Structure 1
Amino acid sequence: LIYVGHFMSSWGDRMWYFAIPLFLMDLDPNSLFLTAAYGLTLSASVLLFAPLVGDWIDRTERLRALVISLVIQNMSVITSATILLLNREFGDNEADYAIAIKISALLLGAIAILASTATQIILQKDWIVVIAAKRTDFLTGLNAMMRRIDLFTKILSPLACGQIMAVATLTGGAIFILCWNTASMFAEYFLLKSVYNRTPALAVKGQSEEDVIEMEELGNGLEDQDEITEKNNHKKEKPVKKKKSVFQKMFGFILVIKDGWKLYMDQVIALAGLGMAFLYLTVLGFGYVTTSYAYNQCFSEFLVGITLASAGFTGIVGTFIFPILSSRFGLVKAGLYSGIFQVLTLIPCIASVFVSGSPFYLLPANQISTNHTIVPTTPLAPTSAFNRTHSLGYSTLPYTSENPSFVEFPPPESFLSMWLLVGGLVAARAGLWSFDLTITQLYQENVVESERGIVNGVQTSLNMLMDLLMYIAVLFLSKPDEFGILVLASSAAVTTGYIFYGVFTFR
């Protein structure tokens, strides 16, 4: 039941994340400013308020917290989709009220992402720990299956939503998302309410910080995990938190955030979490930055789609590798070996900066033509020199000519650089998701029950801080021939993250 509920929630989230940039571009088709503002708003919201969300989860009864999060998350999406749909059908993007629609989209997006973060913490960081009832192997299986569902929906949900929009336009897509989230909200509630009723332990929530999770004898190479748990058991007892009034919470949120960060750093596994955060300080993924770079280097939509699907497949493979590594070498060393594998996949990524076809401006071959000849285009005068072709799955038109601010570049002399980069990124997903599962289970097994919410909230906030720093770096190094610097810096950041984890492992 919890798998079905998580599938429905994840599918809806993935559809909305795919659709919202299209709706925003429909609002402001001549600029990427609104889309960038939306992403920045979401990242800043999680960075600032995730610790508060986690603290609220710790202080709220489990089922009540879940219901509130589900309702807010789905109603935010439903309201936002309704506003954008009505504006598309009956509104005018040039009218004075258009700014209010744009602001509402940003605010509702921020509310939705915070509610989604709360739902993820509740289900993936707390509920499944209680359901596993200290059965480590069972918990490993639960974590792996939840991650497989995430990756499965990440591959198929955008494809399904895109197909609906291709047939029924954005209007049909918005109506489908509205119907899905409305039905999903009620279905998820009844499914997870059944899980709650069938698991009496969920009704009992730890009230004190001394209620540390005791691990059973793990054996089979898990001695390192026992040592971590033993350290947690010998942590100095802290006084029970006093309940704060609503007034104190409203005006004392800064102290809550500060105390949350201090509590996070006091955790035995904080160094491992810090290592995980560094993996967000990278362009070596399949986000907007790398996808845009691939288009710039004349990868067609078809090749980008194949690449994303391949990355999703290797990520799913990683979720099957993780239980095997964990049972054979122990949880901590499973993360170490996953990290070593991902670091090895950085080699082709780094090589891609220096081989034939790389636009990196420091290469001698590119010194002659550092000043690219830009061929401007307009909707009325497309350039005949660079016609789109898909004979080999490549495109010589990385950006649409419907926006005159975008420019076209001739295809590179070789695609060796791109294939090395893509190959490294696809292979890395197996190690990344296996490592992610390691961190998830370390937090589940070593964070006191009464502190799970705020500690995981701080971890999410730290991840988002690194993500913001990455986007800031991209703002300063936004040219395609500077992407090589971002690749090298990202490789250094990923390696640093695993160095932190290595220190944690052997400490």
Structure 2
Amino acid sequence: MPPLESIELQVATGEDVQSDRTAASCEPLSDSHGNGMTRSQAWNLYASHFLSTWNIRTYIVFTAAAYPNTLVASSIRGIVRTLASICFSSIIGRWVDHAPHRLKTLSSTISVNRISVISASVLWSFIVRSGNATQGSLESTSSITQDTVFGLILCLEVLETLSASGNMLSMERDFVVTAADPDGQTYGLTHLNSVMRRIDLICKLIAPILISVIVSATSVQIGVLIVGVMSTASWGVELVCAKRVWDLNPRLRVLKTIEIGDSNTLSQSLPPSGSWHMISQSLRRYGRGFESYFSSEVWIPSMSLSFLHISVLTYSATFITFLLNAGFSLNLITIARAAGSVVEISSTVVTPIGVHYLSKAKVHGRLRGVVARANEDSEDSGVGLLERFPEQQAATETGLERLGLWGISWQLLNLVPVVFAIWSLSPDTTTTTLPTILSRNLGPIVSQPLLAFTLFFFLSISRLGLWIFDLTTQQLTQTMNPASQRSSFAGLEYSFVSLFGLVQHLVAIVLHRPEQFKWIALMSLGATAVSTMAYAGWVCKMRGHLVHWERIGKGCECVKVRLRHVR
């Protein structure tokens, strides 16, 4: 069929596609229990996600063994991975949204990730073996060969990074959302998100430790071999588990319908006039992705979550380096980090309970209040609004918004004593700022063990609020974005996360002296405060208030009455 006839056919059927898309978006809310997710489907889903996450977490780069006397290779590798995520995450998200077959999309990301990891393991084995032959140096390998192999590894690093992002986008923003049961059922979206994040956090804790133990007990070559073998062995199992979920869930087998756009979309179907035309079209699509992101009603929570990655108040390499320079032992830091990971995992248990409890509040607010009034005033307007805000879904969104505010507020409050502890550890107390004055006055009465306890305890429990906020924001972006834009939206979110992470590293490079870390900590606390205020403003806009002042007034009246009876 000629291209113009194909375009006319697409335009002619645009209304049918839109109606099918509307019906598909409402399907999970009205799906019968017979077509719901079963225990077998859930466990196969968890197994597939576990294998993907485990392989991603165990893929450690062996630059320290290959380049023992310099940090240049590690820095180049980190910059390349970060820039790749910033530039291409949105493109990967758009590809996931526009791919009609969900299983083929997920399988493609799995296969590309495994191929890149296996190939990189072979190349790293070659470099490490050459280095061991000369007792840690690479003198036997020519500089050209060394640079060529490392360049190939960097290319595979880009593939591994983007395929891992594509796997997470396809799984979390498409596969899970489509397969989940309605809210309130056993395998609802809140439950699935919590279990999937629990798997991710457990792999984040255990996988690097296990690989490090293996490398320490044997050799780097054995560690590289084990990483490659695990990726090879889990490849087929992961594909089988994903296919089994797809076979047993009717909603996943329905092909996605691509929404027909305006004249810009039609012009993209025409043959390109040249390379410049293709570049301009790519830039336009990239720009429209940003327009779509900032036009979403949930972009503020997403940006607030991304902005938190500028903070160094986490168990990252930068913060651990400061703690070591401050005199804390590596064993103490390791124990504190493990405790923080346990707190993080506990957030996956707290979140479903909190959402269920806070969802019992009345669904009201500026946006939802408009829906309620419209339903009362006009039956015609109520039909479309009810489709957008079903009662159960609106109640769940209310619980997510409220719990998210509790989570990020909890993180902010617990980071305040952490910052004061860091300022107390700083050797430079010649300035007259408020944190310096307080730390100077508290210094004589605060012992070193108490200071260490304050630092690690509050930093660890702050992780509970961070991951509660992360989980609630993830589900809000899943449910409050159109199905055709979920992955594109999340891809841009990943880009912002990488961008703010890059800013964190650049700030650490500028303020690199240990006594300057206190300013980075203060900046991190300020960034958390900005995210908290932005999210609180968004919640106020959505619900119309932050505090039930009428309940506080009633509570005060009850206290007054009781005091009168006591007197």
What TM-score results when the alignment is normalised by the length of structure 2?
0.72
Correspondence 1:128-277 to 2 at 5 A = 128-135=176-183, 138-207=188-257, 241-242=265-266, 244=269, 252-277=281-306
Q: Does 1:449 align with 2:483?
A: yes
RMSD between aligned alpha carbons? 2.4
The answer (yes or no) to whether the contact 2:415–2:525 under 8 Å persists in 1 is yes
Structure 1 residues 267 and 34: alpha-carbon distance in aligned structure 2, compared to 1, 3 A threshold: same
Aligned to 1:36: 75
Q: Which secondary structure does the structure 2 equivalent of 1:320 belong to?
A: helix
Q: Which secondary structure does the structure 2 equivalent of 1:31 belong to?
A: coil
Aligned to 1:343: 412
Correspondence 1:49-68 to 2 at 5 A = 49-60=88-99, 61-68=101-108
Aligned to 1:498: 532
The answer (yes or no) to whether the contact 2:98–2:258 under 8 Å persists in 1 is no
Which residue, 285, 291, 294 being the options, matches 2:323? 294
Correspondence 1:254-403 to 2 at 5 A = 254-329=283-358, 330-355=399-424, 357-360=425-428, 362=430
Q: Alpha-carbon deviations, 1:248-270, whole Å to 9, x = none? A: 76663322221111100010101
Q: Tell me, in whole angstroms, the C-alpha distance in 1 between the residues paired with 2:302 and 2:496.
A: 9
Question: Which of these two proteins has the greater Rg computed from alpha carbons?
Answer: 2
State the number of aligned residues.
Answer: 431
Q: Does 1:464 align with 2:526?
A: no
The answer (yes or no) to whether the contact 1:46–1:464 under 8 Å persists in 2 is yes
The answer (yes or no) to whether the contact 2:130–2:138 under 8 Å persists in 1 is no
Q: CA deviation at 1:202?
A: 1.2
Q: Alpha-carbon deviations, 1:368-422, whole Å to 9, x = none? A: xxxxxxxxxxxxxxxxxxxxxxxxxxxxxxxxxxxxxxxxxxxxx9465544332
Aligned to 2:113: 73
Higher helix share: 2
Q: Tell me, in whole angstroms, the C-alpha distance in 2 between the residues paired with 1:313 and 1:497.
A: 24
Structure 1 residues 246 and 422: alpha-carbon distance in aligned structure 2, compared to 1, 3 A threshold: farther
Structure 2 unaligned spans of 5+: 1-43, 132-136, 359-398, 437-446, 542-567
Aligned to 1:3: 46
Q: Tell me, in whole angstroms, the C-alpha distance in 2 between the residues paired with 1:88 and 1:149.
A: 31
Q: Alpha-carbon deviations, 1:16-53, whole Å to 9, x = none? A: 1xx31xx1112211111111111111111111111111
Q: Alpha-carbon deviations, 1:434-454, whole Å to 9, x = none? A: 110001100111111111121
Aligned to 1:114: 162
Q: Tell me, in whole angstroms, the C-alpha distance in 1 between the residues paired with 2:115 and 2:331.
A: 34
The answer (yes or no) to whether the contact 2:102–2:174 under 8 Å persists in 1 is no
Q: Tell me, in whole angstroms, the C-alpha distance in 1 between the residues paired with 2:198 and 2:155.
A: 30
Q: Tell me, in whole angstroms, the C-alpha distance in 1 between the residues paired with 2:245 and 2:288.
A: 33
Structure 1 residues 285 and 205: alpha-carbon distance in aligned structure 2, compared to 1, 3 A threshold: farther
Q: CA deviation at 1:244?
A: 4.5
The one-letter code sitting in structure 1 at the alignment partner of 2:249 is: T
Q: CA deviation at 1:284?
A: 0.8
Q: Tell me, in whole angstroms, the C-alpha distance in 2 between the residues paired with 1:419 and 1:490.
A: 20
The answer (yes or no) to whether the contact 1:282–1:493 under 8 Å persists in 2 is yes
Q: Tell me, in whole angstroms, the C-alpha distance in 1 between the residues paired with 2:224 and 2:173.
A: 31
Q: Does 1:434 align with 2:457?
A: no
Aligned to 1:216: none
Q: Tell me, in whole angstroms, the C-alpha distance in 1 between the residues paired with 2:452 and 2:71.
A: 25
Structure 1 unaligned spans of 5+: 211-236, 368-412
Q: Tell me, in whole angstroms, the C-alpha distance in 2 between the residues paired with 1:187 and 1:204.
A: 23
Q: CA deviation at 1:501?
A: 0.8
Q: Tell me, in whole angstroms, the C-alpha distance in 1 between the residues paired with 2:304 and 2:247.
A: 37
Structure 1 residues 76 and 245: alpha-carbon distance in aligned structure 2, compared to 1, 3 A threshold: farther
Q: Tell me, in whole angstroms, the C-alpha distance in 2 between the residues paired with 1:208 and 1:349.
A: 49
Q: CA deviation at 1:136?
A: 5.4
Moved more, 483-492 or 156-165: 156-165
Q: CA deviation at 1:141?
A: 0.5
Q: Tell me, in whole angstroms, the C-alpha distance in 2 between the residues paired with 1:338 and 1:348.
A: 17
What TM-score results when the alignment is normalised by the length of structure 1?
0.80
Which residue, 117, 126, 135 being the options, matches 2:174? 126
